[in-house]
Amino acid sequence: MSRLTDAGLPVPSTQRAQTRQQAVVAAQRRPVVVKREAADVGRGAHVALAADGMLVPDAPFPGPYIVQDHIQTDASVYRLYIAGTHVRGLLKPNLRAQRDSEKVTPFDVEKDLALLAIRTGDALGLDIFGVDVLFGDDGPVLIDVNPFPGFRGVTDAVQMIANHIATVAL
């Protein structure tokens, strides 16, 4: 997150908390999202929403934790998949929806959103990756970056990735 912030990209205010008690203190009874710091597969299983500002003191999953400001939104997640300069988008209807074909919808990624995704990769040194974006009151906000996404639901993912690899290899 600090590298994204340093690059001037829109991210929620973020703090690290070693223990659950530190996460509760960092939340300060304001609307937050608490994530498990360790990047593991779970599709949202290690995310606790406290949009009402009330973060329960008991840990629903082990720490350390990342505490981020809650973004006021319709909760639709714009999931972007990037290979080089090619960007594809899938819309998840809410933060808890699984990534199966019945709950995500492909969408045409507008130029500004595609540029944001590519700038994210530039800031992190990534060519093939995924980005989750929420649209808040002030526009798009990056809430997650996946350096090794599955590209589930992206119909031309194999071609997209192969084209990028071929371009880099030349």
Pick from 156, 155, 157, 147: which is nearest to 127 by CA? Answer: 147
DSSP per position, the chain: -HHHHHTT-----EEEESSHHHHHHHHTTS-EEEEESS--S-TTTTEEEETTS---SS-SS-S-EEEEEPPPS---EEEEEEETTEEEEEEESSTT--SSTTT-EEEPPPHHHHHHHHHHHHHHT-SEEEEEEEEETTEEEEEEEESS---TT-TTHHHHHHHHHHHHH-
Q: Check residue 45 and give its pLDDT.
A: 61
Q: Which residue has the higher pLDDT, 48 or 97?
A: 48
* pLDDT band for position 30 (cuts 50, 70, 90): confident
pTM given for the model: 0.85
* Range scoring the smallest mean pLDDT among 35-39, 107-111, 121-125: 35-39
Kindly compute the dihedral angle of the four CA atoms of residues 132, 48, 44, 93, in this order, to the nearest 10 degrees. -60
Q: Is 82 exposed, middle or buried (0-12, 13-18, 19+ CB in 10 A)?
A: buried
* pLDDT band for position 93 (cuts 50, 70, 90): confident
Segment 144-160, tens digit of pLDDT: 999 999 999 999 999 99
Q: How far is CA 138 from CA 11, 42, 72, 134, in A?
A: 11, 29, 10, 10
Q: What is the mean pLDDT of residues 7-18?
A: 94
- The answer, yes or no, to whether the previous bond of 64 is cis (omega within 30 of 0) is yes
Q: At a CB cut-off of 8 Å and minimum separation 6, what does 110 contact?
A: none
Segment 54-75, tens digit of pLDDT: 777 778 888 899 899 988 887 7
Q: Which residue has the higher pLDDT, 95 or 82?
A: 82
Q: What is the mean pLDDT of residues 91-101?
A: 63
Average predicted confidence (pLDDT) for the chain: 87
Residue found by looking up tokens 């498990």 in the block: 36
